[in-house]
């Protein structure tokens, strides 16, 4: 059990070890989406199965989660296999199943991080502090959004509903767990999938859309995340291309101090 046992996200990603190295968990109503659970907690749960494994080496560096089929509200099983362990790196394959059918697959790369030359090439954007911005009104949104404090600088869900295209799909927002919770890999992973689908930002009308594959690159180690504490993170997300039923999304997650903690990428299905 994690030391943040009281926070809703820790209940959502909680796993019990069963027979044969299989973990069991269940979806949380706190993080319910319109149908099934929020994909961010599904991704965080996949990662958590490796974090909890006694064979695990080091910190996560890369995680790819594939949403292969719907996750139904209720119990699920997760099997994590250490595919290859080297001196200071480790590759994992993870599968989540319900009723003996795989609903989510993942690969994860872990490593012992060490100090090297460091440089951030992307610039921290000029934005007002979180405290100067109004909190996003999530009254009409799915339950999981109420587990976050979101304050949009730009590219929140448009309220006009008039179907006028925006010039771009850029969103920038301050975001933190609600209630506040010290940052770790579980929380950060979920936040990487907390952006609304770019198609809905770019063309303000509600269309069916959902993440198919999500990749997260972690640029911070566990100690850095711990030092961050529970303050808001700046999220920046945009698409580069929409077409043939899918669009991509590239996102950056920054600390308020200007540290780039993670970058994430995803491909999103949309119907239109």
Provide the binding-site residues for a second copy, judged by CB under 8 A: 61-62, 64, 66, 68-69, 83-84, 86, 89, 91, 93, 95, 101-103, 105-107, 109, 111, 113-122, 168-169, 202-203, 212-213, 215, 217, 219-221, 238-246, 248, 250, 252, 260, 263, 265, 267, 269-272
Q: Which is nearer to a second copy, 82 or 133 (CB)?
A: 82
Q: Which is nearer to a second copy, 130 or 201 (CB)?
A: 201
Instruction: Say what the alpha-carbon torsion angle 184, 187, 192, 196 is, to the nearest 10 degrees.
Output: -160
CB 101 → a second copy: shortest distance, Å?
Answer: 7
Q: Which is nearer to a second copy, 17 or 84 (CB)?
A: 84
CB 84 → a second copy: shortest distance, Å?
Answer: 4
Q: Which is nearer to a second copy, 14 or 261 (CB)?
A: 261
Residue listed under structure tokens 């560096």: 61
CB 260 → a second copy: shortest distance, Å?
Answer: 5
**Residue 230 tokens, joined:** 């529970």
Q: Which is nearer to a second copy, 3 or 114 (CB)?
A: 114
CB 8 → a second copy: shortest distance, Å?
Answer: 29
Sign, CA torsion 120/125/129/134: negative
Q: Which is nearer to a second copy, 190 or 262 (CB)?
A: 262
Element of type H or E holding 9: helix 8-12
Q: How far apart are CA 223 and CA 245, in angstroms?
A: 40
- Residue by residue, DSSP assigns 164-211 as PPPS---EEEEEEESS-----HHHHHHHHT-SPPHHHHHS-S---EEE
CB 238 → a second copy: shortest distance, Å?
Answer: 7
Helix axes 185-192, 39-51, angle to 10 degrees: 150
Q: Which is nearer to a second copy, 41 or 249 (CB)?
A: 249
Q: How far apart are CA 56 and CA 135, in angstroms?
A: 38
Q: How far apart are CA 162 and CA 158, in angstroms?
A: 9
CB 154 → a second copy: shortest distance, Å?
Answer: 14
Q: How far apart are CA 133 and CA 152, in angstroms?
A: 7
Q: Which residues pair with 235 in a beta bridge?
A: 173, 253
CB 53 → a second copy: shortest distance, Å?
Answer: 17
């Amino acid at each position: 059990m994690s030391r943040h046992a009281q926070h809703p996200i820790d209940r959502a990603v909680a796993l019990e070890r069963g027979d044969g190295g299989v973990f069991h968990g269940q979806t949380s109503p706190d993080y319910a989406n319109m149908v099934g659970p929020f994909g961010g907690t599904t991704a965080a749960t996949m990662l958590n199965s490796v974090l909890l494994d006694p064979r695990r080496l080091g910190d996560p560096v890369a995680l790819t989660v594939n949403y292969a089929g719907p996750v139904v509200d209720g119990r699920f099983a997760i099997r994590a296999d250490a595919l290859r362990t080297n001196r200071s790196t480790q590759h994992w394959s993870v599968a989540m199943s319900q009723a003996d059918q795989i609903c989510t697959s993942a690969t994860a790369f872990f490593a012992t991080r060490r100090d090297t030359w460091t440089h951030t090439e992307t610039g921290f954007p000029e934005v007002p502090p979180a405290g100067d911005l109004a909190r996003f009104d999530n009254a009409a949104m799915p339950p999981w959004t109420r587990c976050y404090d979101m304050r949009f600088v730009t590219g929140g869900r448009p309220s006009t509903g008039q179907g006028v295209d925006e010039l771009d799909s850029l969103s920038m927002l301050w975001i933190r767990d609600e209630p506040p919770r010290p940052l770790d890999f579980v929380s950060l992973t979920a936040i990487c999938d907390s952006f609304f689908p770019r198609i809905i930002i770019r063309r303000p009308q509600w269309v069916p859309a959902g993440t198919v594959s999500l990749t997260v690159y972690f640029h911070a180690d566990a100690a850095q995340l711990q030092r961050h504490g529970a303050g808001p993170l700046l999220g920046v997300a945009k698409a580069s291309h929409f077409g043939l039923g899918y669009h991509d999304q590239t996102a950056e997650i920054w600390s308020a101090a200007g540290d780039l903690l993670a970058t994430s990428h995803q491909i999103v299905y949309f119907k239109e």
